[in-house]
Structure 1
Amino acid sequence: MSRADDPRARIYIVDHVNPGTAFTRRFQVVSTSSNKLRAQVYAAAAELKDGKFVFAPGRTPNELTTWISLDHTKLDLKPQGRATVTTRIAVPKKASEGERYAVIWAEVSSAKPGPNGNVAQVHRVGIRTYLDVGPGGEPPSDFKIGQVIPQRTEDGVPQVVADAHNNGKRALDITGQLSLKDNNGSLSVGPYRTIGTLTLAPNQRGKVAVAVTEKDLPDREWKFQLILKSGKITRTAAGTLTFPEERGAFGLPATLGEPLPLALTLAGALAVAGILTVTVVGIRRQRGRTARTALHRSR
């Protein structure tokens, strides 16, 4: 299936294939350094744990990484240079059903520690890989928002924490934003972005937090609208809540009701850090059809 309109597929490799399927992605590794660089390119294991996409140490393998091959594992990059790498993922015909996780890394490191005990630095950027294997079409993806709790941190910052449950069949990366409006409509604040990304495997639960930057927010009842999104899936919770006055305290669970009449736009931002970026353009061929997806990821 084509994922051209899936926001997650633009920054990660997200796919579902039948056993025995092979497909490719083309990487472009870009150096932002003014020096020549030698980059290592490799795949390493990952897992979903405690609401996060967790990278395994170093080059730790797993089943998915054994299916991944690269046409270049070393790159000599000129200052501000770039190079293209093709990766092939070949799923065995006897592969069992289920979703696997990995990262395809591009890594540069400083000279090895010398006799004086200097510390070598390692910089790497990568693209997450979420590969589901099984017969038939794409398994459904879905999640729901549970209880919403207002609180105030020890620093006095108002915060909203919501329960989320992945009740679909694929892993999700959940982000979103919160908007507030007082009952008489005289004051509106936000939207405020969620703190980080909540990554949930199927049937996992986790919590999404949103900090309200106005510490002096009046302690009154507020109408709220929380919009959470993973890829093309959007879920909304709305109603009323009251932040507690005391620092480090929790308020009563929000009363859920109708969404606010607000025009909200979820905009994603990729943080570009380090000295490498990775741009990927992939082509997958399956059953005579071709799907094209452009992805970009930096860490």
Structure 2
Amino acid sequence: MPSRSVRGLAAAGLLVTAMLAPVAAAAATGDDAHRHGQGRFGIRLLEIPENRLDDPRSHAFIVDHVNPGTTFTRRLEVFSTSSSRQHVDLYAAAAQVGDAGFRFAPARTPNELTSWIRLDRTAVDLPPHGHVPVTATVAVPPSASKGERYAVLWAEISSASPGPSGNVALVNRVGVRTYLDVGPGGEPPTSFRIGEVTAERTGDAQPRLVAEVGNTGERAVDLEGEVRLSEGPSALSAGPFRSARATTLPPGGHGRVTVPLGHDLPAGPWRFRLTLRSGRVSRTATGTITFPAAGERAAAYGGPSVPVLAACGAAVAAAGLLVAGLRRFRRRPVNGEAA
């Protein structure tokens, strides 16, 4: 049975997310569109499953687990801040999660998941500063094999005339990621571990912590977090410092999470507390570190990562995740695109 969903304005308030991405190398960025007077446009979720109210990822993306043969819907909204009418094309296209993170396929490339998705509108004409609802229906066939699939629900605007080169039209598209796991029984576990933590300085001498991370669960993870420093020189404390971007890992995958720190921090020694999260799951590593000279690295003596499972009720999630979720997803760039 599909999960019950929360609908309407209350859910919409928690789910504001506009993800700007170029379709190809020649495409305009969101900033280019703004400079050219096209205004901004976006697409956002208007509902999430009741059983995922405490999952920050579900407030921005479609994240679910269903049995084969399940059909469910998600309501979304396409909106514009432009003072002129906008024609927006809507479609689902393939994505994958691998060593390079969450990657969007070019243009309208299909995959198995996109063949299960139907949008009730393939295009909308947005009035100035307008918004239009859209419903996505996902019909998983009874014969679907076990595993997690990925896609993006895209809204796309094309320029009416060729771009500066004379033969390339400029395109903007925005999207909502979809992480859909299929299989009988309960949802597979989400888990990850924090490995070695090192301290570095960039070429301009800015200190940062870099953590080796591994996905030890059976679902993709989007890792981000923060560092707090204490017991520094003259008993100084500093932070929290937030990770530069999310790191997406497939099951069994490995990667790095980088947290830039303040330029004016003394070298140390410091006690650090690094906390990383993906959805409901959190891990913490602690240790002592002294920042090296520019261009060098120093190992941090971190203990084993400590699991923490966030288990807050729907009322707490609705009140507490609004600010945290919006701040988190608003600043999330991914692989040169954003979604």
Find the aligned partners of 2:305 and 2:52 in 1 and give their Cα distance: 32
Bigger proportion of residues as strand: 1
Q: How does 1:146-295 map to 2 (within 5 A)?
A: 146-183=195-232, 186-214=235-263, 216-245=264-293, 247-256=294-303, 267-268=324-325, 269=327, 270-271=329-330
2:273 alignment partner AA: Q
**Cα distance change of structure 1 residues 255 and 26 upon mapping to structure 2, 3 Å threshold:** closer
**Cα distance change of structure 1 residues 48 and 115 upon mapping to structure 2, 3 Å threshold:** closer
Find the aligned partners of 2:77 and 2:211 in 1 and give their Cα distance: 38
Match of residue 52 from structure 2: 3
User: SS at 1:44's partner residue?
Assistant: strand
Unaligned 5+ segments in structure 1 are 260-264, 274-297
CA-based RMSD of the aligned residues comes to 2.4
Bigger proportion of residues as helix: 2
Find the aligned partners of 1:136 and 1:240 in 2 and give their Cα distance: 43
**Cα distance change of structure 1 residues 71 and 222 upon mapping to structure 2, 3 Å threshold:** same
Find the aligned partners of 1:251 and 1:6 in 2 and give their Cα distance: 35
CA-to-partner distance for each residue in 1:210-266, whole Å, 9 max, x for gaps?
A: 11122x322221000001011111110011111102x1111133343899xxxxx99
Deviation at 1:119, TM superposition (A): 4.5
User: What is the percent sequence identity of the aligned residues?
Assistant: 52
Find the aligned partners of 1:258 and 1:55 in 2 and give their Cα distance: 31
Deviation at 1:271, TM superposition (A): 2.7
Find the aligned partners of 1:19 and 1:116 in 2 and give their Cα distance: 48
Find the aligned partners of 2:238 and 2:185 in 1 and give their Cα distance: 46
2:330 alignment partner AA: A
Quick one: higher RCO (CA 8 Å, sep 6+), 1 or 2? 1
Match of residue 284 from structure 1: none
User: SS at 1:64's partner residue?
Assistant: helix
**Cα distance change of structure 1 residues 148 and 114 upon mapping to structure 2, 3 Å threshold:** closer
Deviation at 1:112, TM superposition (A): 3.4
Q: How does 1:93-132 map to 2 (within 5 A)?
A: 93-113=142-162, 117=166, 119-132=168-181
2:214 alignment partner AA: H
CA contact (8 A) 1:42 1:105 kept: yes
1:52 alignment partner AA: G
User: SS at 1:66's partner residue?
Assistant: helix
Provide the TM-score with structure 2 as the length reference: 0.74
Match of residue 293 from structure 1: none
CA-to-partner distance for each residue in 1:5-64, whole Å, 9 max, x for gaps?
A: 211111100011111111001111111111101000000000113352110000000010
1:175 alignment partner AA: E
**Cα distance change of structure 1 residues 9 and 257 upon mapping to structure 2, 3 Å threshold:** closer
Deviation at 1:198, TM superposition (A): 0.6
CA contact (8 A) 1:200 1:206 kept: yes
Find the aligned partners of 2:331 and 2:227 in 1 and give their Cα distance: 25
Find the aligned partners of 1:180 and 1:157 in 2 and give their Cα distance: 15
Find the aligned partners of 2:331 and 2:232 in 1 and give their Cα distance: 40
Provide the TM-score with structure 1 as the length reference: 0.84
Deviation at 1:165, TM superposition (A): 1.0
**Cα distance change of structure 1 residues 37 and 151 upon mapping to structure 2, 3 Å threshold:** same
**Cα distance change of structure 1 residues 116 and 10 upon mapping to structure 2, 3 Å threshold:** closer
Which one of 60, 77, 86 corresponds to residue 37 of structure 1? 86
CA contact (8 A) 1:71 1:86 kept: yes
Which one of 180, 191, 194 corresponds to residue 142 of structure 1? 191
Find the aligned partners of 2:165 and 2:216 in 1 and give their Cα distance: 54
